[in-house]
Amino acid sequence: MPQKDYYEILGISEKASLEDIKKAYRRLAKKYHPDSNPNNKMAEERFKEISEAYEVLSNPEKRRKYDQLRQMGQKGLAGFEDFEDLFARKKGKEQAFSFEDLGGFGDLGDLFSSFFDLGETTRQRRWSTQRGADLFTEIEIPFDLAISGGKTTMELKKEEICPLCGGTGAKPGSSLSACPECGGRGILSFVQGAFAVSRPCPRCMGRGKIIRIPCTRCGGKGQIPTRKRILITIPAGINDGTQLRLRGQGRPGNGGGPPGDLIVKVNVGKHRFFERRGKDVYCKVPINIAQAILGSKIKIRTIDGRVILKIPPGTQSGTKFRLRGKGIKIDGSKGDQYVEILVEIPKNLSEEQKRLMEQFAKEGDLRY
C-alpha cells in the first residue's frame, strides 16, 4: 500500500541528488543483501524495500510522479485506507454485491500502482450504467451443417433481468433511498489536487441509490438465473473453432446498461467419409484390382450429391483425382474435392483365381 516512504527507506532527504540516492542504495544494499544475511527474513524484506525505493527514486520520471503523490500528503493516501476498510465492511455484510460487478475495478491493493501509472486517473466513468459481461459458450455442430450453413439452437444458462423488480433489486412498491455514502452520486472521489480520482461507490455499487426492502424474487440482485433456448445462425462453410458473436445475448447490464454479447465457439464434428481442409474436401475411395488394372467408372459421394469418376486403366493405389468445384463454397468461390484411390489387394483367392494369377504372372514374366 501507498504509505511507503522511499526517502525514509533509503535514509535520505527529499532533496537528495541522484548521486546521494545511489550512494545510499549501495551502502544499504550491501548491508542487507541476502548473501550477507543467509536465512534472515527481516533482512530479505528490507532488501526488497530498498530495491523498490531505489528503482523509483533513481528514475527521474518515476521520482517526479512519486514526489507529486507524496506531496498530496497523508490526507489523500488516508482516503485509500478508508475506502478499503469501507469495502471490506460492506462486503462482509452484503453478500449480494460482488467485486466483479464493479467491473474492471482491479485489486484495491493495486490502487497505488495504477495511480502511479496515471492510467486510471484520466478515466472517469459513471458506473451506474454498466454494460453486461460477455458470455462464452461452445457448441458442436455436424459436418454437414457447417458446410451448408443453417440454424441450430442451444440451451444457455444465464442471468436475466428479474421480471418482478425490473432489475432494480427493490421490492416492487418499496422506495429506493439516496445512498448515504456517496450522497446519491454513485461515485466517490478520493484524492484532491492534481489527481482527482473517482471510483464507484461500494455501498450502492455506483447506482447512487440503495434498496430499502430487497425484491423477494431475486433477493436484491436484480437478476435471476434462467435457462434460455437461443437460435444460432451458422454461416455456410464455417470453419471448426470459429467464434460467433451474438450481440446482446450476454449478461444483462447494470443499472439499465446494455447487455453483453454471447460468444459461441463452434466446433465442427468429424465426418466419416469427408475430411476438410479449408475450402477443399478430401476422401479416400477403395477400388478392386480389376478396376485398377482394367479401368472403371465409379460413383463418388460429394458434399452435394454423387458424381461419376472415371478410373483409367492402370491406376495406382494412392492416385489422387481432383473433382473441380466439388469443395466448399465460401465467399462465392468453391473449393475442390480430392479423391484418393486405394487399390484393395484380395487376400483369399479361390483355386481358380490363384491359377489364373499364376498364369498372369508367367505371361508377364513376373517373378513371385
Q: Which residues bind Zn ion (CB under 5 A)?
A: 162, 164-165, 179, 181-182, 201, 203-204, 215, 217-218
Secondary structure (H, E, C), the chain: CCCCCHHHHHCCCCCCCHHHHHHHHHHHHHHHCCCCCCCCHHHHHHHHHHHHHHHHHCCHHHHHHHHHHHHCHHHHHHHHHHHHHHHHHHHHHCCCCCHHHHCCCCCHHHHHHHHHHCCCCCCCCCCCCECCCCEEEEEEECHHHHHHCEEEEEEEEEEEECCCCCCCCECCCCCEEECCCCCCCCEEECCCCCCCCEEECCCCCCCCEEECCECCCCCCCCEEEEEEEEEEEECCCCCCCEEEEECCCCCCCECCCCCCCEEEEEEECCCCCCEEECCEEEEEEEEEHHHHHHCEEEEEEECCEEEEEEECCCCCCCCEEEECCCCCEECCEECCEEEEEEEECCCCCCHHHHHHHHHHHHHCCCCC
Comparison of 124 and 233: residue with beta carbon closer to Zn ion: 124
Q: How far is the CB of 96 from Zn ion (least distance, A)?
A: 11
CB-based contacts of 356, cutoff 8 Å, min separation 6: none
Comparison of 237 and 252: residue with beta carbon closer to Zn ion: 252
Q: How far is the CB of 185 from Zn ion (least distance, A)?
A: 7
Comparison of 181 and 275: residue with beta carbon closer to Zn ion: 181
Q: How far is the CB of 99 from Zn ion (least distance, A)?
A: 16
Comparison of 102 and 266: residue with beta carbon closer to Zn ion: 102
Q: How far is the CB of 31 from Zn ion (least distance, A)?
A: 49
Comparison of 43 and 176: residue with beta carbon closer to Zn ion: 176
Q: How far is the CB of 220 from Zn ion (least distance, A)?
A: 7
Comparison of 177 and 243: residue with beta carbon closer to Zn ion: 177
Residue 210 CA: distances (Å) to CA of 23, 40, 284, 349, 361:
55, 51, 68, 88, 96
Q: How far is the CB of 325 from Zn ion (least distance, A)?
A: 57
Comparison of 160 and 181: residue with beta carbon closer to Zn ion: 181
Q: How far is the CB of 182 from Zn ion (least distance, A)?
A: 3
Comparison of 150 and 256: residue with beta carbon closer to Zn ion: 256
Q: How far is the CB of 190 from Zn ion (least distance, A)?
A: 14
